[in-house]
Structure 1
Amino acid sequence: MSWFLIRGWTILVYLFLFLPVAVVLLLSFNDNQFGSFPITGLSLRWFVKLAHNDAILRAFQTSLILGGLTAVISTTLGVLASLALVRYKVPGQNMISTLLIAPILVPEVVLAVALLLFLNALSIGKSFPLLLMGHVIFTLPFVVLVVQARLVSIRRDVEEAAMSLGASPMQTFFQITLPLLAPAVFAGMLFAFTISFDDITGTLFWKPGGVETVPTQIFAMLRNSISPEINALGTVMIILTVGLPLIGVGIVRKMAMSRGG
């Protein structure tokens, strides 16, 4: 009886979490201009309008550029930090690890306000570099955690064997360590891109005037009215944020299996 109640409660929780997402997906294909049930017919016209909306296209371009730069910078810093903390003895190692992971523990709105106030005290205004810096700070811990977990499992004697055969530390890294780290590096990069692409709280604080990402564009559109284009845009966001990690997991597993084989 208790197991039946747990199952029922679990189903209710999942319905509560995912039913609104399903509603957005269904309404994005609704032919009726007013999002309501029952659906009068299926149509792709809201996606067509979305593709011709200059503001949304600019927001997508900004989000892709911002997410791509965030992923590259966070992954590079995360790999270097993980190597230093796992492979070498660094003074204050525990404190550095705590500082790197801290952005996950601090609420994002607190982190956003703190960074904004700090830079305002230095007379640095809102700009795209500030927005990029904020996203890097927020996504870096995820990369560090993923890469460190993989690096710990890589045996040190494999690298030592390569160096004993005449390879330099740089050659050992690029020919031995990095290929073994590749699944974690790719996963961390994908994490950073997805988190940056979806972020709205920090972006609202850090973005300069006239610059919109996809989440802030949705937020701005909701201030005026609930347009069917918002449902279509929400569907695109859901496909991207769910599809990319699933594709990434498949690629990472394939890479790990090929390395293992």
Structure 2
Amino acid sequence: MNPAPTSKAPWLTVYVVAYVLFLYLPIAIIPLFSFNNSIQAAFPLSGFTLEWYRSLFGNDNLHRAFQTSLIVGVSAAFLATSIGVTVGYMEVAGGTRTARVISALCRLPILIPGVIVGIALLVLVNLAGLGPSRMAIVLGHTLVALPTAVVIMRGRFSSLPRSYSEVAMDLGAHEWTTFRRIVLPLAAPAITSSFMLSFLTSFDEFIVAFFLSGAEPTLPLYVWGQLRFPKALPSVMALGTFILLASIVIATVAEIIRRRGVASDELPVTTPRPLPIS
């Protein structure tokens, strides 16, 4: 006998729809106003134009900020993913208390307010003699992206059957050979996903870059600086549309790659049929 539907279901649907609209409707307005033929972000729209998008291609300051964000993002993603692979495998394969503590410390920055992280890193880079610079931003963004990389790689290594490594080591393979030839290829989709999401985290990060940037601002800092000028608002919305689309594409591709890696573990293993003896 099927249970009777509860009366709360329609209200729950209304709540979810209202929550989604409240969360994403302001984001959808940005692309809409980026095509508006006016510097005023208000309804009704005065007309359609692509002028604000054309203005982005001749902006040298924007290009330099984009290049800085690209270099910082790739560098931070590489470092965060490399550390995430090491820490994740160390925790899953080793299983020691020290490994679990290190893994927990690597995931801790996600719980600390960005302002606190930015101030602490600023003090640290000044003591180290680096000062606010591109290298300081790379180190700061590595710390910010590290929890994402550790969580992804930890989950991937945990899902791999231990029998793969055990069989390889029973056949005479050393631990490093097993890790390089067996574990890493199986974890490749998660590594790619971790790199892409870490890059996205670094590319969109503002607070830490605000404290650590010197004469080379990142793209979010450039956008923040342009908000002081009302005439630059339409160009900022056009730039925000590009960033929004790129973020959606990168996050979607990373999730597809991760799910394909997980799905490959669930494929049925078929036993080959013996050849007939003539």
TM-score of the two chains, using structure 1 as the length reference: 0.92
Partner of 1:223 in structure 2?
228
Shift of 1:167: 2.7
Q: Counterparts of 1:1-261 in structure 2 under 5 Å?
A: 1-90=7-96, 92-208=98-214, 210-225=215-230, 226-258=232-264, 260-261=266-267
After superposition, give the CA deviation of every residue in 1:201-220 in whole Å (9 maximum; x if it has no partner). 11100111x21111111100
State the superposition RMSD in angstroms: 1.9
| One-letter identity of the residue aligned with 2:237 | N
Distance 1:82 1:254, change over 3 A: closer
Q: Distance in 2 between matches of 1:252 and 1:96?
A: 24
Q: Quickly say closer, same or farther: Cα 1:11–1:91, change in 2 above 3 A.
A: closer
Q: CA deviation at 1:114?
A: 1.4
Question: Per-residue deviation at 1:222?
Answer: 0.3
* Contact 2:88 2:103 (C-alpha < 8 Å) held by counterparts: no
How far apart, in 2, do the equivalents of 1:17 and 1:96 lie?
Answer: 35
Which letter does structure 2 place at the counterpart of 1:177? V
Further displaced range: 4-13 or 142-151: 4-13
In 1, the alpha carbon distance for the partners of 2:120 and 2:254 equals 33
Amino acid at match of 2:118: A
> How far apart are the structure 1 equivalents of 2:169 and 2:98?
28
Amino acid at match of 1:223: R
Q: CA deviation at 1:258?
A: 4.7
- Give the AA of the match of 1:40: S
Report the count of equivalent residues.
Answer: 260
Q: Shift of residue 43 of structure 1?
A: 2.4
Unaligned stretches of 5+ in structure 1? none
Instruction: Flag the 1:205–1:33 CA change in 2: closer, same or farther, 3 A.
Output: same
- Distance, in Å, in 2 between the alignment partners of 1:115 and 1:173 is 34
Question: How far did 1:165 drift?
Answer: 2.1
From the superposition, tell whether residues 254 and 159 of structure 1 become closer, same or farther in structure 2 (CA, over 3 Å): same
Q: Deviations over 1:102-139 (max 9, x none)?
A: 10111111111112123334454212111111111111
Q: For residues 6 and 89 of structure 1, what CA distance do their matches in structure 2 show? A: 42
Counterpart-to-counterpart distance in 2, 1:212 and 1:119: 17
- Distance 1:175-1:121 versus aligned 2 partners, 3 A rule: closer
Cα distance 1:92–1:254, how it changes in 2: closer, same or farther (>3 A)? Answer: closer
Following the alignment from structure 1 to structure 2, what is the Cα–Cα distance between the partners of residues 246 and 131? 26
TM-score, reference length from structure 2: 0.87
Q: Which amino acid aligns with 1:51?
A: F
Unaligned runs of 5+ in 2: 1-6, 268-278
Instruction: Return the offset for 1:157.
Output: 2.0
Opposite residue 246 of structure 2, the aligned amino acid is L
Measured after TM superposition, the shift of residue 93 of structure 1 is 3.0
CA distance in structure 2 between the aligned counterparts of 1:154 and 1:169, rounded to whole angstroms: 16
In structure 1, distance between residues paired with 2:78 and 2:38: 42
Q: Which of these two proteins has the greater Rg computed from alpha carbons?
A: 2
